[in-house]
Amino acid sequence: MTYGQIGKIVRVNPRLVGKILHDNPDPENIPCHRVVNARGGLADKYALGGKKIQSKKLVQEGVEVFAGRVNLEKCFYKRNY
């Protein structure tokens, strides 16, 4: 998902979504590594180890990461609003 998608669902600014995920108290049960920006870019300041760790976690789940981005056409979570 993207920060914007989550923001739209919960009706908050996507930047607030990023702040909340940055302060994630339970990364084992709240998989914030799965959230990317609107262009599929990984978080420059991923709180749980940086962009390399976010990429590693995504790759372990079968998500292709190329040049710090995921292909949103392949990985984008589609939800009817």
For the entire predicted model, the pTM comes to 0.84
pLDDT of residue 79: 62
Question: Where does the pLDDT of residue 73 fall: very low under 50, low under 70, confident under 90, or very high at 90 and above?
Answer: confident
d(CA 37, CA 44): 10
End-to-end alpha carbon distance in the chain: 14
Lowest mean pLDDT among 7-16, 17-26, 45-54, 55-64: 45-54
Q: Which two tokens stand for residue 78?
A: 């589609």
